[in-house]
Structure 1
Amino acid sequence: MITGIIVDEHTSPVAVERLWKASIGDMRNLMPKLLPQLVSSIVILEGDGGAGTIMQHNLNNAVKEFAFVKDRIEVIDHENHIFKYSVIEGGLVGLKLSSFTAEITFSSTREGGCLAKVKIEYESLEDGSLLSEGDVISIKEGNLAMIEAVEEYLLADPNAYV
């Protein structure tokens, strides 16, 4: 096994509190609504939404390799806007990876918007082989699509998640 790291960031004109509340605080309801072509539902299997909660993200046919991703919330810090989760089943875990952990942090920008940073750490199943460039691009594009969908929704409705 070999360990890899993927980092990405996105600057949004939406204030940190609104982006956090919508994308992290209400992801279970909002993602299937905003991205129905990808996410059919997000179900809490165990827990109350805090650390230790296990959720299953059920995906639509647009994702060919897998039908769901099951993750466990490791950290959800509403005050400091830090969200960390581990994929425990589904997704690339079991196909190409033995582990996948992501940390997302939001911070305010001087302009009144938000900087979202994503750091993903993973271990590959195969010795000496990191994820392909195509897989890394796909992961980054998926994260960006989610943030941009929420951002677009919030910009269109300035009264949502205030």
Structure 2
Amino acid sequence: MVGQLSHEVEVNVAASEAWELYSSLRLAKLVEEELSSLIEKVEVIEGDGGVGTILKLTFPPGTPGFAGYSEKFTKIDHEKRLKEAEVIEGGYLDIGFTFYRVSFQIIEKGDDSCIIKTTVEYDVKEEAAANASYVTIEPLVKIIEVTKNYLIKTKAAKDAN
């Protein structure tokens, strides 16, 4: 069973500024700092933030589903401002999924405006199809809200100087 979920948010900052955050490991640090109720710990297992980087995400105790998983950056396209990460160990793979990918794309809308588009794509074995209910875009929506607020605050601070 194949599925996909998407969400878009407009942010009043330049696409290049949003991409600067999303294309780097700063995104993981920001999420860890600002959303500890969602992700307790983000560890860089391998890499420097480029394609092939592996992160281990640990969720807080009591999080429904699983304790965490490891993901690998499989695509970082600076022209399209697209970053993709696939679960490579644990998490969804332990409950019958054969594929689980999250992508972030920064779409330029104007000089000081962009859209942050998030997509989750997955494939789950037929016998584990009920586990597709664990897939939700909500944690990613929270991440986008945190990054949106951070980007706007950072832009305001730059504009004030």
Q: Fold-level match, TM-score > 0.5?
A: yes
Alignment partners' CA distance in 1, 2:102 and 2:63: 20
Aligned match of 1:90: 90
* Equivalent runs, 1:103-142 vs 2, <5 Å: 103-110=103-110, 112-127=112-127, 129=129, 131-132=132-133, 135-136=134-135, 139-142=136-139
Aligned match of 1:4: 3
Question: Aligned in 2, Cα 1:35/1:59: closer, same or farther, shift over 3 Å?
Answer: same
Identity of aligned residues (%): 25
Structure 1 unaligned spans of 5+: none
Aligned match of 2:151: 154
Alignment partners' CA distance in 2, 1:62 and 1:72: 25
Structure 2 unaligned spans of 5+: none
Deviation at 1:61, TM superposition (A): 2.5
Question: How many positions carry a matched residue from both structures?
Answer: 155
Question: Superposition RMSD on alpha carbons, in Å?
Answer: 2.2
Alignment partners' CA distance in 2, 1:34 and 1:55: 17
- SS in structure 1 at match of 2:137: helix
- SS in structure 2 at match of 1:151: helix
TM-score, structure 1 as length reference: 0.82
Question: Aligned in 2, Cα 1:94/1:8: closer, same or farther, shift over 3 Å?
Answer: same
Question: Aligned in 2, Cα 1:34/1:128: closer, same or farther, shift over 3 Å?
Answer: closer
Q: Is the 8 A contact 1:22 1:30 kept in 2?
A: no
More helix by share: 2
Question: Aligned in 2, Cα 1:100/1:88: closer, same or farther, shift over 3 Å?
Answer: same
Deviation at 1:91, TM superposition (A): 2.7
Q: Does 1:28 align with 2:28?
A: yes
* Equivalent runs, 1:47-86 vs 2, <5 Å: 47-61=47-61, 63-86=63-86
TM-score, structure 2 as length reference: 0.82
Alignment partners' CA distance in 2, 1:70 and 1:56: 4
- SS in structure 1 at match of 2:40: strand
Q: Is the 8 A contact 2:22 2:104 kept in 1?
A: no
